Structure 1
Amino acid sequence: MPETDETVRDLIRAHYEDLTQTERKCANALLQDYPGAGLASITEVAANADVSTPTVARMVQKLGFKGFPQFHKALLQELQAKVSGPTQRRDAWASEAPAAHLLNRFSQAVTHNLEQTFSHVDSDRFDASVALLSRTEGQLYIVGGRITRSLADYAFTHFQAIRPGVVHMTSSAATWPHYVLDMGPGDTLLIFDIRRYEANLLRLAELASERGVKVVLITDQWTSPVARVSDHAFTCWVEIPSGWDSNISTMMLLEAMIAAVQESRWPEARKRYEELDQIFDQTRLFRRPGSS
């Protein structure tokens, strides 16, 4: 099995240019129904992709696997990682943890996550997403799930100060049709979704996309199903020695996006900041340094 933190999806994308036309046909079929399309037997995978069995075998070898069984095992391990809950993840870490102090293991894991996350960010895709988040011809809708709603709230607080027309969608799916009602071409939807992925967020993305909304997804390394309908998807590494996943790399990517949007809209953003400070002074919500 390839010694890499990349998923099979990442390997397919990385080696796509090296594949023949028929091998690409197989790869596309796998990506369209990932990872389910690759969990059948090699003959079934070939039949579903309308290619020969040897074509499938050659393709997986080009991805770095010794053969289809190893490829199949890698997909199963990814699927197991996707559905594992906090208890299972904590047990897995405890059995493999070194004797070093938790603080050291934690910092090593976080550093690794940051390195992996930013090494997998495509700069063109990042710039295109920033352009979507910056444009004010339409609304910017922001939503998160059970765990990621705090990230959505953080994003809303900053983007609302940088630009007008930002809408923070509530975490209650029952209210989402009211937001979708006003969505249309020119709007952008920023979604946060990490494992366990939420079916409601996928349906929301589908409805928004059908109405011409551009969808930007921030997810984990196993990739939310929302990626199928998103215009731009970013994968963040999240595993740490804990029963919970970490949002540190996700927050770092978000802050990079916030900084880029602010830069792209300067000096308009600066004017908004100055007006916002004036309003804060009028409301006396905050004390300025040195004031009595």
Structure 2
Amino acid sequence: MMIRDRIEKEAENLTLGERKLAAAILSDYPFSGLSPIHELAKHSEVSAPSISRFVTKIGLEGYQEFQRELISELKQGMRSPLDLHAPERKVQGGFLKDFIAKSTSQMAIAADAITEDQFTQICTLLTDPKRRIYVLGGRISDTIAKHLTFHLQLIRKDVYHLPANAESWPDYLLRIRQGDILYLVDFRRYEAMLGQLAKQAAQTRQARIVLMTDKWISPIAKHAHEVMPVPIDSGTLWDTYSAALAVTEAIVTRIAEHNWEKTRARMEAWEALRLKPVDDHT
């Protein structure tokens, strides 16, 4: 179990001081917990013995184990396909059926990781016509971001996909108004530039950051208003985006069907304006 999950599991049993400590740890997770115990004590305004009791309360033997677990989580979040490859991986039945079965299980996990209330809240944000939406993902995860962008553009106006070239991002940042949405997709081997973009958008433009990430949680989370953790670990050298795609399609489908009259009108207008292939015989 991840440290974040351990803390959330014990949330109802924490004292006032422990809740303050938990907030300090989660505010800059996981880096806050990697500092010496006296520095964390000073930052969270609790004593070192209180921190020791806290880590025991969440099921760990001491502060050293607490830090080892956090370091392990960081390493998991930086693993590449070279690290993930498991040549002795067992396959149950045929490879295709085994792979699809694992992908299906990941989708089920995603359904539990994102509550229905959070899902509805995110859909409501993305539906609000007063908010412009700006979307971007990482080197590979941008495929999910583009999928979201394409469907949202069919449904509503003011949806923009940012280009990969960071030199053009200031132009988009200047367009963002207070309350607009920056929707980012960032999976492990997190993109540092996306983190800088999120920080700028949140602090200088007062944008609302919606983050889709994995269970190790992108550093962007510290700037985000909504964080959707989806499972990506397939047990192979490649992370799987099956669950991320399923959640994305659920979002756009829910928005489209919930506002069907507006969606239909826009899609009809879109279809009417599509350029038709030129007939050389006319």
Using the size of structure 1 for normalisation, the TM-score is 0.86
After TM superposition, the structure 1 = structure 2 runs for residues 145-160 of structure 1, keeping only pairs within 5 Å, are 145-160=138-153
Residue of structure 1 aligned with 2:271, choices 249, 272, 277 = 277
Q: Residue 190 of structure 1: SS of its match in structure 2?
A: strand
CA distance in 1 between counterparts of 2:127 and 2:272 reads 24
Q: Residue 87 of structure 2: SS of its match in structure 1?
A: helix
Say what the alpha-carbon RMSD is for the aligned residues: 2.1
Task: Report if the CA contact (8 A) 1:106-1:241 is conserved.
Answer: no
Task: Report if the CA contact (8 A) 1:105-1:241 is conserved.
Answer: no
| Equivalences, count | 276
Q: Residue 244 of structure 2: SS of its match in structure 1?
A: helix
| 1:192-218: CA deviation from partner (whole Å, max 9, x where unpaired) | 111111111111111211212111111
Residue of structure 1 aligned with 2:233, choices 239, 257, 272 = 239
Displacement of 1:221 in angstroms is 0.9
| 1:85-119: CA deviation from partner (whole Å, max 9, x where unpaired) | 220111xx335x22545435423432332222221
Describe the shift of the 1:183–1:256 C-alpha distance in structure 2 as closer, same or farther (beyond 3 A): same
| Alignment correspondent of 1:39 | 34
Displacement of 1:137 in angstroms is 1.3
Instruction: Give the unaligned 5+ runs of structure 2.
Output: none
Residue of structure 1 aligned with 2:163, choices 155, 165, 170 = 170
CA distance in 1 between counterparts of 2:156 and 2:99 reads 36
After TM superposition, the structure 1 = structure 2 runs for residues 59-74 of structure 1, keeping only pairs within 5 Å, are 59-74=54-69
Describe the shift of the 1:53–1:94 C-alpha distance in structure 2 as closer, same or farther (beyond 3 A): farther
Q: Name which of structure 1's ranges 246-255 and 40-49 shifts more when overlaid on structure 2.
A: 40-49
Residue of structure 2 aligned with 1:188, choices 181, 188, 196 = 181
Displacement of 1:178 in angstroms is 0.8
Task: Report if the CA contact (8 A) 2:186-2:218 is conserved.
Answer: yes
Task: Report if the CA contact (8 A) 1:139-1:188 is conserved.
Answer: yes
For residue 217 of structure 1, what is the amino acid of its counterpart?
A: L
CA distance in 1 between counterparts of 2:69 and 2:102 reads 21
| Alignment correspondent of 2:219 | 225
Instruction: Give the unaligned 5+ runs of structure 1.
Output: 287-292
For residue 111 of structure 2, what is the amino acid of its counterpart?
A: F
Residue of structure 2 aligned with 1:98, choices 90, 98, 105 = 90
Q: Residue 130 of structure 1: SS of its match in structure 2?
A: helix
Q: How much identity, in percent, do the aligned residues show?
A: 32
Q: Residue 94 of structure 1: SS of its match in structure 2?
A: coil
CA distance in 1 between counterparts of 2:243 and 2:172 reads 29
Using the size of structure 2 for normalisation, the TM-score is 0.89
Task: Report if the CA contact (8 A) 2:135-2:145 is conserved.
Answer: yes
